[in-house]
Structure 1
């Protein structure tokens, strides 16, 4: 089979980045000269069959995968200034892995849901316009005006977004979003137990991350990655505003606040968290955005939150979410992880990475107690404090 050195080089580079390897590491593992790896990845040098086999074995793929004709995917970069505290190596890993995943979806001819995600065409500096747009996106996702977003990941999938897990965080950030060949993709951190035994990210933070990245995809479809810190802060604020309006729309949120007595206290915010499945600190920001509290009131609430040590562990455990589309699409194609990997010429670990949303308990096998399903109380007299155990 004729192979184009440029195609082979691109595939080798992508899988090397997915594995977080330097060219020197691939060179050592595959017994190929370091300088030669660079030339191969840039399409300036081919590989004999023995070298190709060693490289394929090192990267966890069949030689046929590396020589298969391909084209460089058209990929939008994440808003990189927003990931300034994450290493370029970590960001490149997930960009490359997303490209490999999307190519796999297309190669397997999996039937995707049609994209229903609207595109923002108003003034990004107009908060009211972003609030209105979030209502439009909620409607496109099948939500009524006062519906709670019961599962944010499933709603994103319903909009035609492919949602894949991340094994770790990008600095302080829990997700990223991008388009590959026009397909919108969100990567979101799956839960794990940290060194202190707490689940990170919490369920409410995971939900906000998905809504935030959905905001980037919809609001910033034609906006290039920010090149300065002020620009980065601005696009983050815009995505934050969208996420707040998507998860906790103004009118029903304020109606619930009024039903609970109208006073913005930690007790009231805890009750609102039980209903809407968003963090208490996020609710402080949201109510400040809506003009219900001023800066002084917000600072007082933040001090109370800090004094109660809620910055790291808030009351009310919100359940984590996971994507279902990819697993269901594989099942409809009569494929499991192993058979899909065989068809692609990839090691099964690649496919499993795209499917695995399970809690990583490698640090501590003791699971946290109690999760709360996100729901509205049956009536104003219904109890919203009871935790439902797993």
Structure 2
């Protein structure tokens, strides 16, 4: 498989097309598509444009030099994903990261990872995780107050974050590139869920766990502790409560960027409320459909800005053309001065 063949294969997988389906779109047999991917036939320029159109890629994509492999991929999903859905997410994530690495190379700018040594984040119990979450906050100079923009905090300390338009069952994917952690998160989800997913993945990255601790429970505990530390939730709710008003949960959700249900879980973890009270809330949430959509105004989602700013800066300094900037964005640029709309987000 040569470079163009590899790119055709990746583009097809990212679009979720079979060999036959792509062949029908571009007007050739599935055997021909297979030969393109294996490098046995090199498509001419006209055919390459048809392939690009069928996969929503620019022709430049097929000549891109950066190659990325996802090492140690770890999916977070509400329900298991099939191979086709994983292939789509994989291809979109690789495409996004290749563009990110390209603009870093053009800009000669890279943020090094800034995390405590993992051996200093060892937990023998779930309770130990509370202190580790505060340790990370202190390491990043975040204090104990609500974190305004979690994605910015991650990117400022060397963890790349990308938004991926994917299957509704997908939440997040963590992997390593050149030994550095990278997180891809679902694009079209509420902001509180997005932030919890990010904090959950950070837990997987940083925690050094006693083998007897369940990794998912540990990451879940870390996410809650990172978003609203023990000292702060006890300040907000006090040490012991018999119940919590739903309006309290709603206001704390919008103050700390953590879902109402996760706040109930957090209060139960810290024994602020008895387990039986938490169970009563879980049942109420389930009965009223709040597990899928919590009441009131949604918490707004965040978006990565570092990659966007690198692209726009490179264009302003004439290091790249506008067309090249659009290719790195992954979609056409929108000029806010011309039509009043926001710049389109870089995504997978």
- Secondary structure, counterpart of 2:118 in structure 1: coil
Asked if 1:180 corresponds to 2:186, the answer is no
Q: Is the 8 A contact 1:107 1:344 kept in 2?
A: no
Asked if 1:112 corresponds to 2:110, the answer is yes
TM-superposed deviation, 1:101: 1.9
Asked if 1:256 corresponds to 2:236, the answer is yes
**Match of residue 155, structure 2, among 154, 157, 176:** 157
What is the aligned partner in structure 2 of residue 207 from structure 1?
195
What is the aligned partner in structure 1 of residue 339 from structure 2?
none
In the alignment, the residues of structure 1 paired with residue 231 and residue 328 of structure 2 have an alpha-carbon distance, to the nearest angstrom, of: 49
Task: String of CA shifts for 1:72-131, please: whole Å, max 9, x gaps.
Answer: x23125324856532322222222122122222222324233321345335566323432
Alignment of 1:1-40 (within 5 A): 5-40=1-36
With the length of structure 1 as denominator, give the TM-score of the two structures.
Answer: 0.71
What is the aligned partner in structure 2 of residue 93 from structure 1?
88
TM-superposed deviation, 1:350: 4.3
**Match of residue 37, structure 2, among 12, 37, 41:** 41
TM-superposed deviation, 1:320: 2.5
Regions of 4+ moved over 6 Å:
none
TM-superposed deviation, 1:296: 1.4
In the alignment, the residues of structure 1 paired with residue 183 and residue 141 of structure 2 have an alpha-carbon distance, to the nearest angstrom, of: 19
Asked if 1:276 corresponds to 2:272, the answer is no
- Secondary structure, counterpart of 2:185 in structure 1: strand
In the alignment, the residues of structure 2 paired with residue 346 and residue 54 of structure 1 have an alpha-carbon distance, to the nearest angstrom, of: 17
**Match of residue 306, structure 2, among 325, 328, 331:** 325
Q: Which runs of 5+ in 1 are unaligned?
A: 192-200, 224-230, 359-390
Q: Is the 8 A contact 1:176 1:188 kept in 2?
A: yes
Alignment of 1:336-375 (within 5 A): 342-343=323-324, 346=327, 349-350=330-331, 356=344
With the length of structure 2 as denominator, give the TM-score of the two structures.
Answer: 0.78
Task: String of CA shifts for 1:232-279, please: whole Å, max 9, x gaps.
Answer: x943322211111110111121122129x8554134434433432322
In the alignment, the residues of structure 2 paired with residue 57 and residue 203 of structure 1 have an alpha-carbon distance, to the nearest angstrom, of: 32
In the alignment, the residues of structure 2 paired with residue 19 and residue 65 of structure 1 have an alpha-carbon distance, to the nearest angstrom, of: 14
Task: String of CA shifts for 1:11-54, please: whole Å, max 9, x gaps.
Answer: 222222222222222222333431343344345x2415354454
In the alignment, the residues of structure 1 paired with residue 76 and residue 303 of structure 2 have an alpha-carbon distance, to the nearest angstrom, of: 27
Asked if 1:103 corresponds to 2:98, the answer is yes
- Secondary structure, counterpart of 1:164 in structure 2: strand
Q: Which runs of 5+ in 2 are unaligned?
A: 334-342
In the alignment, the residues of structure 2 paired with residue 81 and residue 104 of structure 1 have an alpha-carbon distance, to the nearest angstrom, of: 23
Alignment of 1:311-322 (within 5 A): 311=291, 312-315=293-296, 317-322=298-303
TM-superposed deviation, 1:280: 1.6
In the alignment, the residues of structure 2 paired with residue 135 and residue 174 of structure 1 have an alpha-carbon distance, to the nearest angstrom, of: 25
In the alignment, the residues of structure 1 paired with residue 287 and residue 64 of structure 2 have an alpha-carbon distance, to the nearest angstrom, of: 59
